[in-house]
Chains A and B, each alone.
Chain A
Amino acid sequence: MEHIAGNPNAPVFGIAAEVSSAAELYHAAEKVRDAGYRRWDVYSPFPIHGMDQAMGLRKSWLSALVFLGGVAGLTTAVILQFYPSSFEYPLIVAGKPVNFFTVPAFFPIMFELTVLISAFTATFGMIILNGLPRWHHPIFSWDRFKKVTNDGFFLAIEATDPRFDKESTRELLEGIGARHITLIHDDA
């Protein structure tokens, strides 16, 4: 019997299915990866170690972004401190020089701003790279999917994937041993 979720007249979002454990989800992910799919995702109540490799995800770009954030923070601190204190309005404080050698006094700010902007980049970069904030997702219209925050392990192959095909994708999921294979439509 054909399971359908969402609005049957709306475009297809993808095909979702349920497996019974984290280990099964891991091995299912390996098989979907090996079948060459690119636009798909797994959903579980908790993070699963090694899932990145099982899904064939490459290294995230986040670390590069964080590095740039750190450089930006460091540069900001250097400019904001050296420009006024050494060029615009040099003030001698506690007999300390106003040239480069006063750098120990500026280190704490340089350190803090580097950490602060890196941390902001890491947090917000992670959120954006994850596609968040996102208020709704087509898979929410599937009732079984509510288990994902409790004891459900799901995977969904999206229709935008070049290899997506209603029949062959369903067969792949059946071959993996996934249950409750459901065609998910968009809501509107």
Chain B
Amino acid sequence: MSANEIKPASREYFDYRGFGGKMLFTVALAVVSLGLAAAGKFFSPQQFAFSWLFALTFFLTIAMGALFWIIVHHAVDADWSVVVRRQLENIAWLFPVLALLFVPIVFVSPYLFKWMNIAPGEDPLLDDKAAYLNNTFFWARTVFYFGFFILSSWLLRRNSIRQDKDGDARYTWSSRKWVFPMLPIFALSLTFSAVDWLMGLDFHWFSTMWGVYIFAGSALSALCVLVLLLTALRSAGYFEGVLTLEHYHIIGKLMLAFVVFWAYIGFSQYMLYWYANIPEETSYFLRRNTGAWNTLNIIMVVGHFFLPFVILLFQGVKKRPLLLCAVAVWLLIMHMLDVYIIVLPACHMAGPSPSWLDLVCLLAIGATLAAIFMKRLGDTPLWPLRDPRLAKSINLKN
């Protein structure tokens, strides 16, 4: 019960000994698949454009989710998440890399965003949206989103790392002061980036719940990645006496909450369009509820909500790291499917036609991010060593 005693932590820094092989493999995988993706860009630029956007969105949403959890951690002055915060900061600090990986989108954007190819006066619907959907504003927004994501994840991580050295509480105060202006800007950036990069694939269609829907998937998948990451480090012997089953229990509860939240938002969006049945609104779901896309959609509804919901209801699952990891892997696959169903039907209208480029782009972006993540992992302690609330977080009781 005594909240002031800190148990001796065994290994605070990541140890690269014996890790070279994995590192080398990841770098090699990244190089090869980036090369293959580049080749794909020249052979089938359209397919490459959509596959790259699909893969990039999958990883971008995870990073956004991680940033969201850091911001919320500071905003509500949370205790429990102190020990897991550094890993969230590491994930969110991948934003500069993601911004670089966004560059190919700039070159293939006319394949993705049809409105870029339409001259003023040709499409009355586009003319009405021209104040928002024009090249200058679009790219300015993109720069703003990345600028904000990079700056905020850098700022919060820097405060956290500086605190490792001297344990000064003013870094905690500084972060808390910053996150309040960050919160609304984060919400707007996520919402409008989702509108620009995903809803913009079909500029005729619109949904006011779009941003929240993407956010729900982001926050959930960031938790899944966090669980996998923590468990991998834990099984390698780190976090001993620091990360307990109580932390798993909390993350599991949040996963359950966000599984339900995702379904709630997704269904609310669907039901309003289904009920009102207005052609300009139903176009999105009409395409995805026809033929083989519908099969994938049903798999997603069952696999992204019903199955994990029932499984995560049990307390035992949330307290068993390996079971929770299995659920996390499954949910990440479902999130991938979700992004796939969002992006690819804009390319393959008739039905899904999986391409080798889908896999290559996923591997290219995933391996690049993983390699850079691993390279940086040892730079800082694995958890905030001198956070004023570390002891409370370690001695967490649900």
Contact = CB atoms under 8 A, between A and B. Distances in A.
Question: Closest 6 interchain pairs by CB?
Answer: A50-B397, A49-B397, A26-B1, A104-B271, A104-B274, A23-B1
Interface size class of A (residues with CB under 8 A): 20 to 34
A21 B26 CA distance: 55
Contacts of A107: 267, 271
Contacts of A108: 271
B315 A59 contact: yes
B315 A27 contact: no
6 contacts: A23-B1, A48-B1, A63-B315, A94-B275, A107-B271, A111-B264
Interface string B308-326: 0000010100000000000
Contacts of B315: 59, 63
B2 interface: yes
Interface in A18-35: 22-23, 26-27
A95 interface: yes
Contacts of B1: 22-23, 26-27, 48-50, 54
Contacts of B270: 104
A104 B272 CA distance: 9
Interface string B283-325: 0000000000000000000000000000001010000000000
B174 interface: no
A50 B3 CA distance: 12
> What secondary structure prevails in chain B residues at the interface with A?
helix
B207 interface: no
Interface in B1-31: 1-2
Nearest to A26: B1
A95 B315 CA distance: 43
Contacts of B2: 23
Given A27-B1, A50-B1, 13 more contacts: A23-B2, A49-B397, A50-B397, A54-B1, A94-B275, A94-B277, A96-B275, A104-B267, A104-B274, A105-B271, A107-B267, A108-B271, A111-B264
Interface string A69-104: 000000000000000000000000011100000001
A105 B267 CA distance: 11
A50 B395 CA distance: 10
B301 to A, nearest CB: 11
Given A27-B1, A50-B1, A59-B315, A95 B277 contact: yes
B65 to A, nearest CB: 24
Contacts of A54: 1
Contacts of A63: 315
Nearest to A50: B397
A187 B227 CA distance: 55
